[in-house]
Chain A
C-alpha cells in the first residue's frame, strides 16, 4: 500500500482527506503511483500531469522520503520507505508568489 498526500485543492476536488492509500501492482515507481492515483480518482486526470504528454505540470512537485523526484523519469523506483508505506509520497503545489 502506498500512502499519498495531496495538496489542498486536489483533496477538495477528489473529495478525500489529507492522506489516501493506493494499491499499486508491480514495481512501485513514480509513474505507477501516478497511474494508480488517476485510476482511483479520475477527476485528478490533467491536474497533476498533462493529458497528452503525461509530463508533470510545471507547478507540481513530487517529494519522497526527503528526495525531490519532480524531475525524475516515470520509471524511477520510489524510496523503500515510501514503497512500503512507512511514510507518504507527497504531491505538492510548488511555491510561487511572494
Chain B
C-alpha cells in the first residue's frame, strides 16, 4: 500500500502531511522551523526519507536543513553560498547595473540518482550543487555567463526558482529565472544557453522577443517526454516540443493567461494544470473564483476544475512552487495558497478537499509517493 507525503513550505515554517493512498485522512506535523520562511523543501528520489529544506529569515539569513528520516528530525547543514569568482553585475530595477548579492535559496532539487547530490537555485540568480548531502556548495558560474549582465529582478527578486533534470540525459538540465528566462545545459552545467525562442513579452521588455529578460514563472516536464516543456510565463502559457529551442503559446480559452505554477499529470504527458490569476496588478483569481484549469490536449483547450474550491469571494494567490502531483492512479494533485489552504484532489482534479485551511501563506508544495 502506497503512502503520500506532502511537503509544504510556508512563511512561518514547514508542515508535513501524510496519508494512505485513499488521500482522504491526513496527519499533519509542524510547524518545523517555526517562525522561519521555508521557501522550498523536497525529497530525494534516490532515498525518499532524505529531505532537504531551505530555511531563511530576513534577520538571520539562509540555512539548509536535511532530514534522513522523512522529516521527523532535521540537521542544519552547510549554508555557505559563495559565487564563483567575481560575479559582476546585472540589471537593476532602474536600469543601472547592480552587483550580484546572495539573498536566499528559492529551490532545492535533489539528484534523481544520488541522495547526497542536490542542486540549489538562489537569489541573486545562480545555481549551486552539493555532492556531500548539503554540507558544501559550489556554483556553476557558466550560467551567469549566459548574458547575466542583462538579467533583471522580477517583483519577487532575481531568483532562480525552477530546476528540471532530464531523466533520459544526465548532462541535460533546465533552469528558470525571474526575470531572465529559461536556460539549458547539455554538458552537466558547465555551459548554458538561453532557451527562450518564441517567448514574447511586449509589456515587460523593450524588445518583446529578446533572447533573455523574460519573466518565466514556472516550467514543467513529464519524465517520459523530456523534450516537451510547459511554461507559465508572467503572461502566456507556453509549450516547447524541442527541448526549449522554440516555444508557442497554448493559453487557448483560459480566463487569464497570467499565473504562477504549472504541472503535468503523472501518467498523461499531455494533461497539464495551471491556476489562472487575474493580472500582474491584481494577484488573485478572476471573478473571485478559485479554479484550477486542466488541459487534456497539452494546452489550448482548457476546462475549469471547481468542485470543492471556493467560487465566490476568493482573493488568494497560488505561488510558483505551490502546485504538485503524486504518482498514484488516479493521479493526485495538490496546491497551497497565500491564504494558508492546502487543497488536494485524489482524482486528477475532478474534485478537491482542503487538507488544512489556516496555515501561514504557502510558498511551496511538493509531493512524495512512498511505495
Residues on the A chain within 8 Å of B62, using CB: 46
C-beta contact mask, B140-179 vs A, less than 8 Å → 1, else 0?
Answer: 0000000000000000000000000000000000000000
CB distance from A94 to the nearest CB of B (A): 7
A71 at the interface (CB under 8 A from B): no
**Contact partner of A9 among B60, B76, B82, CB < 8 A?**
B60
C-beta contact mask, B33-59 vs A, less than 8 Å → 1, else 0?
Answer: 011100000000000000000000111
With A51-B82, A52-B82 known to touch, is A7 a contact of B59 (CB < 8 Å)? yes
A87 at the interface (CB under 8 A from B): no
- Contact yes or no, B80 A51, CB < 8 A: yes
Residue of A nearest to B57 (CB): A9
C-beta contact mask, A1-39 vs B, less than 8 Å → 1, else 0?
Answer: 000000111101100000000000000000000000000
A93 at the interface (CB under 8 A from B): yes
- Contact yes or no, B82 A59, CB < 8 A: no
Residue of B nearest to A43 (CB): B76
Summed over the interface, the residue pairs from A and B with CB atoms below 8 Å come to a total of 42
- Contact yes or no, A9 B36, CB < 8 A: yes
A47 at the interface (CB under 8 A from B): yes
Residue of A nearest to B75 (CB): A43
- Contact yes or no, B59 A94, CB < 8 A: yes
- Contact yes or no, A46 B59, CB < 8 A: no
Cα-based distance from A45 to B82 in the complex (angstroms): 14
Cα-based distance from A12 to B65 in the complex (angstroms): 13
Residues on the A chain within 8 Å of B63, using CB: 13, 43, 46-47
Residues on the A chain within 8 Å of B36, using CB: 9
Residue of B nearest to A10 (CB): B60
B88 at the interface (CB under 8 A from A): no
Cα-based distance from A48 to B36 in the complex (angstroms): 15
Residues on the A chain within 8 Å of B61, using CB: 46-47, 57
B79 at the interface (CB under 8 A from A): yes
Counting chain A residues whose Cβ lies within 8 A of the other chain, the interface size class is 10 to 19
- Contact yes or no, B79 A57, CB < 8 A: no
Residue of A nearest to B77 (CB): A43
With A9-B35, A13-B63 known to touch, is A46 a contact of B79 (CB < 8 Å)? yes
Q: Which of A41-59 contact B (CB under 8 A)?
A: 43, 45-48, 51-52, 57, 59
Residues on the B chain within 8 Å of A7, using CB: 59
Cα-based distance from A8 to B60 in the complex (angstroms): 11
- Contact yes or no, B82 A57, CB < 8 A: no
Cα-based distance from A46 to B62 in the complex (angstroms): 8
Residue of B nearest to A59 (CB): B59
A74 at the interface (CB under 8 A from B): no
CB distance from A12 to the nearest CB of B (A): 8
Residue of B nearest to A50 (CB): B61
Cα-based distance from A60 to B61 in the complex (angstroms): 11
Residue of B nearest to A47 (CB): B60
Residues on the A chain within 8 Å of B82, using CB: 51-52
Residue of B nearest to A8 (CB): B35
CB distance from A70 to the nearest CB of B (A): 13
Cα-based distance from A9 to B36 in the complex (angstroms): 8
- Contact yes or no, B80 A46, CB < 8 A: yes
Residues on the A chain within 8 Å of B34, using CB: 12
CB distance from B7 to the nearest CB of A (A): 20
C-beta contact mask, A67-89 vs B, less than 8 Å → 1, else 0?
Answer: 00000000000000000000000
- Contact yes or no, A57 B60, CB < 8 A: yes
CB distance from A98 to the nearest CB of B (A): 15
Cα-based distance from A50 to B79 in the complex (angstroms): 11
Residues on the B chain within 8 Å of A48, using CB: 60
With A9-B35, A47-B63 known to touch, is A59 a contact of B58 (CB < 8 Å)? yes
CB distance from A79 to the nearest CB of B (A): 25
Residues on the A chain within 8 Å of B60, using CB: 9-10, 13, 47-48, 57, 60, 93
Supplied contacts A46-B63, A46-B79, A46-B80, 12 more A-B pairs, CB within 8 Å: A7-B59, A8-B35, A9-B57, A13-B63, A43-B63, A43-B76, A46-B61, A46-B62, A47-B60, A47-B63, A57-B61, A96-B58
Q: Which 3 A-B pairs have the closest CB atoms?
A: A47-B60, A59-B59, A93-B59
Between-chain CB contacts (< 8 Å), 7 pairs? A13-B60, A43-B63, A45-B80, A47-B61, A51-B79, A59-B58, A93-B60
